[in-house]
A and B are shown apart, each in its own frame.
Chain A
């Protein structure tokens, strides 16, 4: 019946069917503001701060060799309340940031095909790099923290355990992709944070800060890649308890 093409004012019943469209602002309602801002903040502290430490400090220690790396792992494992630090400083914040991030992604309507502008590309890229980084992090945490040699018990086995994975080329490539995705997501995330929290207000300030964030992305990626290159350039180090003890007892 509705297919009858009769132009004219809608009847009284179809006026009620009038699509409501997008809802106006719900002033004074809801808690999305809190969760969105917490999501934004959690990407910097603690998740970003952890990534900074993980790539630029702990992993970079591998460049100084297996013994230095073992000592760094032993230091981290000996921190007080280490399980609490891992749970509340790393795992739960990453889980929240990632899962709420997927929720944000799900509620957006990307329109790159109609509007292929740089900022719009970055909007979509931020979602894709987040997803890649999250997939990598789940696998990486599972293999490094929850399976195989427990590195909290045997820090000396750390170098060999990482090498074991990096010598497998597909896994090595997964590491590279995961590193670059996480580095970009964090670097551009800092830029987004400063724009969205009213820190870089002006167009030129945002433009300049973008260059700084891109430089930071290259720094993170380069140090991460240099660490990986070190792991791959050394002969396979032992992961058995006796060999691990030997590595740990050596002086730097």
Chain B
């Protein structure tokens, strides 16, 4: 390997039903280069290592500072954010593949709509819409804010779902990100009005009970969110709700 070049092996697929193929690239190294900026350089001159002209690689990305959650992909076999994957820290050739558990759109772009659907199912919001001014909300104590802040850092990258052995076609598990958002909005003094509905939603098929506590989610979360704490807390809330339901329904 020449010292000032970067080798990438990228999985290409022209569409959802097309055949996939691997393409190798060798490009000049730039200081501070990450996987996204490497692919930007490839797009500027889309020629493979063998000198064959190809198309620029399709992928989702936006902020390039690990805050928008768009660019999750499999880099050297592991799910991570491409923008914060610095080339100098990666073994070469760097293999880049799309996330494996979401419908493929093209190349590295996948359809992660299932997370949005799940967040809607658990009503992951604070209901404040009305036809008149609802006034100011209740105070949130600094202690509660400190508890909520880490959970609010979720960037919807879906890495916690990709790495979860229970998130698959067979279980249709909701995944750690959604459960953690339930913890966040159940804690909110106004959001808590929907707590029961959220907990009941998580009792449906594919709900919180599908968690096998392999803990890959918390290991791989790029934002360091305490996902297993959220799962355990919400699981406790679900069990308390179950007991309440048994005696009061």
Residues of A within 8 A of B (CB): 2-3, 5-8, 10, 14, 17-33, 36-37, 104, 106-111, 114-115, 117-120, 122-123, 192, 195-203, 206
Contact = CB atoms under 8 A, between A and B. Distances in A.
B211 to A, nearest CB: 7
Contact of A32 (B118, B163, B205, B238): B205
Nearest to A112: B165
Nearest 3 interchain pairs by C-beta = A198-B236, A119-B215, A30-B205
A10 B219 contact: no
A249 to B, nearest CB: 51
B121 A25 contact: yes
A197 B233 CA distance: 8
B228 A2 contact: no
Interface in B1-46: 14-19
A contacts with B: majority SS: loop
B17 A17 contact: yes
Interface in B88-105: 101-104
Interface stretch (B64-72, B129-137, B169-177): B169-177
Interface of B: 14-19, 55, 77-78, 101-104, 106, 111, 114, 117-118, 121-122, 163, 165-172, 174, 178, 200-207, 209-216, 219-220, 226, 228-229, 232-240, 242
A24 B17 contact: no
Nearest to B232: A201
Given A22-B114, A22-B168, A201-B232, 10 more contacts: A2-B19, A7-B106, A10-B15, A23-B206, A26-B172, A37-B242, A111-B165, A117-B215, A119-B219, A198-B235
A119 B163 CA distance: 12
A24 B233 contact: no
Contacts of B55: 7
Contact of A6 (B14, B121, B205, B220): B14
Given A5-B14, A14-B15, A18-B16, A195 B204 contact: no
Nearest to A36: B209
